[in-house]
Amino acid sequence: MAHDAHADHPEFLQHHFFTPEQQAASSKLGMWLFLAQEILFFSGLFMAYFAFRFFYPNTFLAAHEHLNVSMGALNTFFLITSSLTMALGVRAAQVGNKKSLEINLIWTILLACAFCVVKYFEYSHKIHAGLLPTKFFGTGGFSAQGLADNSHIFFALYFTMTGLHALHVAIGIGLLLWIYFKARAGKFSAEYYSPVENVGLYWHLVDLIWIFLFPLLYLVR
């Protein structure tokens, strides 16, 4: 289907765009606007984190000891690696390498799932230990005395921030699967790969947020 863009409409080009480039640029613009909104949306939680850390520096220092640094580091590794495979996938799409795109998407999905598995172990351990700030807080493995005063604030932030991030990971897995099946069906080409690119941008943002969450939550000093 090699044609002049204006001469006829390729299948992937929606009728309200003149050229594939215009369509790609528009969808990318929309994606970046969405990402800017995502960043602003997360910044509220980061502000809450900084404010409470400012109020209770010692509580944060003491409470963060209950997080497992190696699990956090492992998850950082998974996400950064998945970011690489995603970027390689987008590159494969750019050069029209279908096989490589599929393989890289599979790797990205697997690493995202690995992230979720680690997160599952972290969460279940903390919830059983009574660190989920609800009315059961402090009733599990840790007696209330074993925790610094106001520790529930730290754990509320921990669960909210990582929980919202994990939700993004879960949505990301869904999007990646969708892209994967589309790729297998041969929907993408070097001329048309906007969905791959935009899901890629989304996935990198998920990585980006984790890059800040990891030192703030796991590595308090």
Partner 1 sequence: MAGHHTEGTATGHEGHHHHVLPLSVYVGVYLALLVLTYLTVQVSFWDLGPLSLPVAMLVALVKAGFVVGFFMHLRYDDKFLSLIFFSSLFFIAVFLAFTLFDLSTRGKINADQSNFRPLLEQGKLETAGLGGHHGALTAYAAIEHQKKLHKEAADKAKNKGKGKKAKPKFQAPPGMLALGKTKYTQLCALCHGPQGMGNGPGAKGLKVKPAAYGRAEFRLSGGTQAGILKILKNGSTKNGMASYAWMPLKERNALAYYIRSMAFNWKQKQAAKKAAKKKAAPAPRRAAPTTAPAKKK
**Rg of the chain's alpha carbons, rounded to an integer?**
21
At residue 12, the 3 state secondary structure works out as: coil
Whole-angstrom CA distances from 122 to 73, 103, 151, 196 are: 12, 29, 17, 31
Whole-angstrom CA distances from 157 to 40, 83, 118, 221 are: 17, 25, 19, 17
φ/ψ bin of 142: left (φ > 0), alpha (ψ from -120 to 50), beta (otherwise) = beta
Minimum CB separation of residue 49 from partner 1 in Å reads 10
Member of 63, 67, 86, 179 binding partner 1 (CB under 8 A): 86
Task: For partner 1, give the closer residue by CB, 130 or 210.
Answer: 210
Task: For partner 1, give the closer residue by CB, 85 or 155.
Answer: 85
Q: Site map for partner 1, 90-119, x if CB under 8 A? A: -x--xxx-----------------------
CA distance 108 to 153: 33
Residues 15-34 that bind partner 1 (CB under 8 A): 19-21, 25, 28-29, 32-33
Task: For partner 1, give the closer residue by CB, 37 or 143.
Answer: 37
CA distance 65 to 70: 12
Question: What is the rounded (10 degree) CA torsion for 90, 41, 47, 164?
Answer: -70
Q: Is 171 in the site for partner 1 (CB under 8 A)?
A: no
Q: Is 120 in the site for partner 1 (CB under 8 A)?
A: no
Q: Is 36 in the site for partner 1 (CB under 8 A)?
A: yes
Instruction: Give residues in contact with partner 1 (CB under 8 A).
Output: 2-5, 19-21, 25, 28-29, 32-33, 35-37, 39-40, 43, 46-47, 50-51, 53-55, 57, 69, 73, 76-77, 80-81, 83-84, 86-88, 91, 94-96, 190-191, 200-201, 204-205, 207-208, 211-212, 214-216, 219-221
